[in-house]
Amino acid sequence: MSAVLSEAEAMARALELASRGPRHGVNPQVGCVLLSPAGEVLAEGWHRGAGTPHAEVDALSALTDPALAAGATAVVTLEPCNHQGRTGPCSIALIEAGVARVVFAIADPGVRSAGGAERMRAAGVDVQQGLLAEAAEEFIRPWLTSVRLHRPFVTVKWASSLDGRAAAADGTSQWITGPEARADVHRRRAEADAIVVGTGTVLADDPALTARDPDADGALFPHQPAPVVIGTRAVPSGSRLREHPLPLRHYATHELADVLDALYADEVRSVFVEGGPTLASAFLAAGLADEVLVYLAPTLLGGPRTALTELGVGTIEAQRRLTITDLSRLGDDIRLVARPRPGAWAPTKE
């Protein structure tokens, strides 16, 4: 006999299923559980990436008998889509399958993809929104932020000593943190659509901007973030960036909002800023950082090479407050994840 779940338990399971899909890319992670009228699990599905069946269709295709969908309940982490993209509308697929009830956590904020709930209700499907909404919001926060703001979700990362230095006085910085922290950085790079640095970092460090798997002797992860350089100086022809698996995108400008607009138009939904103190501070000062990722090493360096430069804070009343969302130990180092407090640092759109 199949497991019997409440709708809340099924939503928790759907979120677990969603986590199996890729965090990178233009599509969100979505999971779906199909329940019989008695609450038995009929099938499960999740989205495996762009161009593959969406979670609802994946679950429908996993049914041992398509007729079982008639009268069933679909529990989905995100409102079923209502548009024809690389795949067809999930709202129509559920209607045509005979699903009687759809429970989803959060509404789809996409201009083209929203409207599935309305279409299903018009077809006589019982539709309910909001189950485990807070958990689902947090789970796909980067994608939701990107779609709502029409720009990529921005993570600003740096590594520093306890006294806030990103390098020694002579500019050397390899390595402030230990291998566990560096491995974590590479795993997070592999979850981003793009990795961003400034021309100053390119000229000083000649970075590769690849994501390497520490569990595979440093081999490249299957997914690589696209290398992005911001700044008016030229990238040398012999730069290691020229050997990256993906084409280099060089924006000869200092207008960060314009760069983010261009990246969003090119289906980039998340960027990982690793460009050194100048670029990190520029994103923060402009209110364009959605998340701060800091690796703190138990060492002291002193000197002028601070992790951040000018943020436009002239008085203590203007300090930029954040909320810490994660604090973990990685070897000898500390990983800290924080986000701007609601209403603070908000970027403006003309």
Return the active site residues. 56
CA-to-CA distance for 89 and 107, rounded, in angstroms?
15
Q: What angle do CA 229, 232, 234 make, to 5 degrees?
A: 70
Q: Are 42 and 34 in contact (CB under 8 A)?
A: yes
Nearest to 55 by CA among 5, 105, 9: 105
Q: How many of the other CB atoms lie within 10 Å of CB of 345?
A: 19
**The residue count for the chain:** 350
What are φ and ψ of residue 216, in 5° steps?
Answer: -130, 40
